[in-house]
């Protein structure tokens, strides 16, 4: 049976690539209901007083585009927010920091010489903007969340492995490969910078979600916790970082964000 939502209860979609990043959010859902569509699980319910749909984009741009399209076409979401992890590329972006995306570029897209490198064919665009108002709210939520965590650590209420963590705002690059070597990340950063794209972080889904959201006119914003520096240590204790840091950031950031809507 097709899903229908009352216009007054049009939900916000919360996307993540990995199941570990959403476990805490699913547990907090009020009146949870799971629907399966396009081979994916979609969790509907209320979260912090807002109707939401929780879903996994899965990994990579094509999978993320499929999930995004399903959220819009099947569930009629009003806005989409992505929370997950990324590799740090920009100077001063450290493990434990948070990056809120202002815009997105596909670092592995090259249709030259027909189109300039990194430009999406037939769009006349290289970078896809996040929604300005939504991004501002997400940035405010992320700043508040990190401040809360740092104050808890100072009071001895909860340990914080990255007490000097900061929130950044800027360009995120997406591509269908896991960037995990110092040489590769350096070459990627240099190539993008030479083309005028100063990138803060790299991941595998955001630019695809942004492109689909542009097609449908749906506001989109994304926040990423930096799990590594996209170098030779990128694989070190990744599951532990998600469980102990990124998933906890996600819960607090999403809560603050939803309360700001």
Span 124-144, pLDDT tens digits = 999 999 999 999 999 999 999
> Is residue 64, in this structure, part of any structural domain at all?
no
> Is the residue at 250 inside a domain?
yes
Domain that holds residue 213: 83-260
CATH number for the domain harbouring residue 95: 3.40.50.1580
Active site (annotated) includes residue 228: yes
* Number of compact structural domains in the chain: 1
| Residues of the chain where predicted confidence (pLDDT) is lower than 70 | 1-9, 153-160, 230-237
Residue with tokens 């991004």: 135
Cite the beta strand spans of 114-160 per DSSP E.
127-129
Active site annotation includes 21: yes
In a domain, 67, yes or no: no
Q: In this structure, which long-range contacts are made by residues 126-130, counting pairs with CB atoms below 8 Å and at least 24 apart in sequence?
A: 126/195, 126/197, 127/103, 127/171, 127/197, 128/103, 128/104, 128/207, 128/210, 128/211, 128/214, 129/102, 129/103, 129/210, 130/101, 130/102, 130/103, 130/104, 130/210, 130/220, 130/221, 130/222
Q: Is 255 domain-assigned?
A: yes
Locus of tokens 């493990």: 95
Do the domain assignments include residue 12?
Answer: no
Q: What is the pLDDT of residue 237?
A: 67
Instruction: Please pick, among 97, 103, 203, 228, the residue that the annotation labels catalytic.
Output: 228
Residue 46 counted as domain residue: no
43 domain residue, yes or no = no
Question: Could you tell me what percent of the chain has a pLDDT over 90?
Answer: 74
Residue 111 in any domain: the answer is yes
Which residue of the set 21, 203, 205, 255 is catalytic? 21
Residue-level pLDDT at 151: 75
- pLDDT for the residue 6: 45
């Amino acid at each position: 049976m097709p899903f229908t939502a009352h216009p007054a209860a049009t939900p916000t979609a919360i996307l993540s690539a990995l199941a570990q990043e959403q476990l805490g959010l699913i547990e907090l859902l009020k009146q949870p209901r799971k629907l399966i569509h396009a081979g994916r699980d979609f969790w509907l319910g209320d979260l912090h007083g807002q109707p939401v749909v929780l879903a996994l984009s899965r990994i990579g741009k094509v999978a993320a585009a499929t999930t995004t399209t399903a959220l819009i076409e099947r569930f009629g979401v009003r806005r989409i927010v992505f929370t997950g992890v990324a590799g740090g590329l920009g100077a001063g972006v450290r493990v434990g920091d948070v990056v809120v995306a202002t815009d997105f570029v596909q670092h592995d897209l090259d249709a030259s010489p027909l189109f300039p490198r990194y430009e999406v064919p037939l769009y006349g665009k290289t970078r896809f903007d996040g929604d300005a108002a939504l991004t501002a709210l997400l940035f405010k939520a992320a700043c508040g969340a990190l401040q809360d965590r740092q104050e808890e650590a100072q009071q001895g209420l909860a340990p914080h492995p990255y007490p000097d963590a900061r929130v950044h705002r800027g360009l995120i690059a997406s591509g269908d490969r896991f960037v995990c070597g110092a040489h590769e990340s350096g070459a990627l950063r240099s190539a993008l910078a030479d083309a005028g794209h100063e990138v803060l972080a790299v991941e595998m889904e955001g630019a695809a979600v942004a492109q689909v959201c542009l097609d449908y006119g749906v506001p989109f914003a994304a926040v990423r916790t930096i799990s590594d520096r996209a170098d030779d240590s990128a694989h070190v204790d990744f599951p532990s970082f998600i469980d102990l840091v990124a998933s906890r950031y996600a819960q607090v950031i999403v809560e603050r964000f939803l309360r700001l809507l």
